Amino acid sequence: MTKTRFPSRGLYAITDSALQSGRSLEQAVVRAIAGGAKVVQYRDKSKDAERRQTEAATLVAVCRRHGVPMIVNDDVELALNTDADGVHLGHEDADLSAARSRLGNHCIIGVSCYNQLGLAEAAQRNGADYVAFGSMFGSATKPDAARAEIATVESARGRIYLPIVAIGGITPENGATLLDAGVDLLAVIRGVFGHDDPAESARQYAALFAGRAQDEQT
């Protein structure tokens, strides 16, 4: 099946099953998309393979109906088995070239680069579709994560032609600083799915991009 293309900018909403508290993950994702999410990533660190398969397949179907790519966090085989649009890889995950060989050229592959411009340049050379820097700010999801500097993102903007994603503690209030530095997509977990209405929280992030689009047209 034809995959959905990765967007050039926008809100990148990342799920966390621990935040659902009985709420339907499917409906939460639907609401996030309604609020303006341009990408969805399925992130679940549990060992429940059956549930992860079911949830990921459900979200693939939801996202495809709405024309939004669905990326699987860390798990190449889960991405393959659910026909997801792609996979996001960290430093402890599959090798980029191995993931590309397994998933094919039509799949989206993103790579975490933390605060290392060299990792982003290597990912670009090796065929990644986007790179991600973070944690940009203090993160409740990963409180011990190493911080990335805005200066690193600014340097990357001059050397990386792929979409640049920022993650980690991003709010509607501090997100504008990252967009000013050259970030293309803001990746958010709690800021979207940690709220009662993911649509409303997503709209607050989407407004940052809408405002810039208007500025560019004037």
User: Catalytic one among 17, 112, 139, 201?
Assistant: 112
User: Catalytic one among 31, 43, 64, 100?
Assistant: 43
User: Catalytic one among 142, 157, 190, 212?
Assistant: 142
Told to judge if 3 belongs to the known catalytic residues of this protein, a careful annotator would answer: no
Q: Which long-range contacts (CB under 8 A, 24 or more apart) does 24-32 make?
A: 25/55, 25/58, 25/59, 26/58, 26/59, 26/62, 28/193, 28/198, 29/59, 29/62, 29/63, 29/198, 30/62, 30/66, 31/197, 31/198, 31/199, 31/202, 32/192, 32/193, 32/198, 32/199, 32/201, 32/202
Catalytic (active-site) positions: 43, 112, 142
